[in-house]
Amino acid sequence: MEINVLKKILSANDAVAEVTRNLFSNKKVFAVNLMGSPGSGKTAIIETTIKLLKGRYRIGVIEGDIFSSMDAERISILKVPVVQINTGPFGGDCHLEAGWVKDAALSLNLKEIDILFIENVGNLVCPAEFDTGAHTNVVILSLPEGEDKPIKYPLMFRTCEVMLLNKMDLRNVLKMDIDKLQQNANQINPSLTSFRVSATDGEGFAMWTEWLRSRYESFLESLELSSKTSK
Amino acid sequence: MEINVLKKILSANDAVAEVTRNLFSNKKVFAVNLMGSPGSGKTAIIETTIKLLKGRYRIGVIEGDIFSSMDAERISILKVPVVQINTGPFGGDCHLEAGWVKDAALSLNLKEIDILFIENVGNLVCPAEFDTGAHTNVVILSLPEGEDKPIKYPLMFRTCEVMLLNKMDLRNVLKMDIDKLQQNANQINPSLTSFRVSATDGEGFAMWTEWLRSRYESFLESLELSSKTSK
């Protein structure tokens, strides 16, 4: 009974996710959904990425949190358009759904955005089950979380195109096996692209922003191709 | 519609949680539900606590994970009874429910356990919504997760009696304001008891295990009192 209802909710969300993705594509907005545990560094990664890309691309941000607008306030200091979704302070939802992302996106001027970052609720489980309507999914895993996480939370690592391994600046302090972590991630998803980064000191961001540039250009090419085919 | 269904699931779980709690009480087992983000150090805290309490109390552990029995294997090395719940590898559940805890508990010899640790799925959101049938709830928050977490995930901090602030050994490496974190936690839940610990070097465990001892004794006293009243 509960399972049927959950399936119904999920497939309704899938339908809205397609509408949301089409909205983004029509406006030539490349939407990137960032997921990860609380405190993995999602907002810090968005901040550092904005600082590096700001001259080249017009960035926008949708912030998702159960409560508070702390993250949106952090982003707004960087003078990029940002909107905060709150899923509710009393037992609020543990993930973003495509309909909320669409509503939030419609409050932004999408014509003036090239790349839109969607920061999901901090949670390594549920957000992986709900398509937000983004074009790609990125998981942020921070070193202190430990090398076993891809094995324990497999759906998240299967759903994502990229893993950003964050807080590399702590590598010498923590007793952990980064190669083992990488091996665990590849075992769960052999096609996962990984970058080792530190939002604190900027390590690894040249490669990550280069990936974003290249992926954004493929996105624009795919739009041209599909507009030619539909003519 | 979805909300009604969720309410129904939650109240069904509440009923089973009471049955589960009575089962524990009848067997004089004090059940402690430990919650926290992935990688906050839940298993490490249980390990260090077991090492310190093993001579004094008979400990048992229920491990909750979406997938894998890695944590149960870590605990079993310490030669205490342990059972692993897997909520399912394909989009598995993001929390433990009371019925699963009851079934897992029934597979243990409860007569030979004084304190039972229940390690919930790594998630700072959903587990707070589901009563496991434990007698008390403890949230583990690790320093690298940041000082804003109580404000962003308020239900978790409201639901818990104790906060263990873990990874204190990283305090000199991380740029964070521990007093601000404490202030945020107290703002959300003024009656929250906090201990600053490090599962790595054992810091703060004398106070945490003293709290456990005292809380276990009040639990036994409350059982005696209610058995007298019911005579």
Q: How far apart are CA B90 and CA B121, in angstroms?
A: 15
Q: Taking the CB of residue B227, how many other CB atoms lie within 10 A of it?
A: 10
Q: Where are the beta strands (DSSP E) in B75-227?
A: 82-86, 115-119, 136-142, 162-166, 193-196
CA distance A73 to chain B (A): 13
Measured from the Cβ of residue B139, the count of other Cβ atoms closer than 10 Å reads 32
3-state secondary structure of B222: helix
Residue to mutate among B94, B119, B130, with most A CBs inside 10 A, is B94
Min mean pLDDT across A17-31, B1-15, B120-134, B178-192 is at B1-15
Test A144 with B144 for CB contact under 8 angstroms. yes
Directed axis angle between helix B2-26 and helix B98-106, to 10°? 30
Mean pLDDT across chain B: 94
Give the pLDDT confidence score for residue B227 in this predicted structure. Answer: 84
Nearest residue in A to B128, CA atom: A91
Q: Are strands A59-65 and A162-166 parallel, antiparallel or unpaired?
A: unpaired
Q: State which amino acid sits at residue A149.
A: K
Closest alpha carbon within chain B to A122: B124
Contact B142 A144 (CB under 8 A): yes
Q: What is the pLDDT of residue A228?
A: 82
At A124 the pLDDT is 96
- Strands (E) located in A43-178: 59-65, 82-86, 115-119, 136-142, 162-166
B25 three-class SS: helix
pLDDT tens for the 231 residues of chain A, in order: 455 666 777 789 999 999 999 999 999 999 999 999 999 999 999 999 999 999 999 999 999 999 999 999 999 999 999 999 999 766 678 999 999 999 999 999 999 999 999 999 999 999 999 999 999 999 999 999 999 999 999 999 999 999 999 999 999 999 889 999 999 999 999 999 999 999 999 999 999 999 999 999 999 999 998 888 776
Q: Do B125 and A167 touch (CB under 8 A)?
A: no
Q: For an interface test with B, which of A145, A166, A201 has the most B Cβ atoms less than 10 Å from its Cβ?
A: A145
What's the pLDDT band for B6 if we cut at 50, 70, 90? low
Residue A4, C-beta contacts closer than 8 angstroms, at least 6 positions apart: none
CB contact under 8 A, B68 and A144: no
Q: Does A42 touch chain B (CB under 8 A)?
A: no
Are B104 and B110 a contacting pair, CB within 8 Å?
no
Phi, psi at B56, each rounded to 5°: -90, -35
In chain B, the percentage of residues whose pLDDT exceeds 90 is 88
Which residues of B are less than 8 Å from A149 in CB distance? 38-39
Cβ contacts of A37 on chain B, cutoff 8 Å: 37-39, 122, 124, 145
Interface check A7 vs B, CB under 8 A: no
A127 touches chain B (CB under 8 A): no
Residue B33, classed as helix, strand or coil, is strand
Does A97 contact chain B (CB < 8 Å)? no
CB-side neighbour CA atoms (13 Å) of B79: 4
Chain B neighbors of A39, CB-CB under 8 A: 37, 142, 144-146, 149
| Residue where the block lists tokens 């075992």 | A187
The answer to whether the beta carbons of residues A28 and A35 sit under 8 Å apart is no
pLDDT of residue B88: 80
Q: What percent of chain B has pLDDT over 70?
A: 96
A33 neighbors A118 (Cβ within 8 angstroms): yes
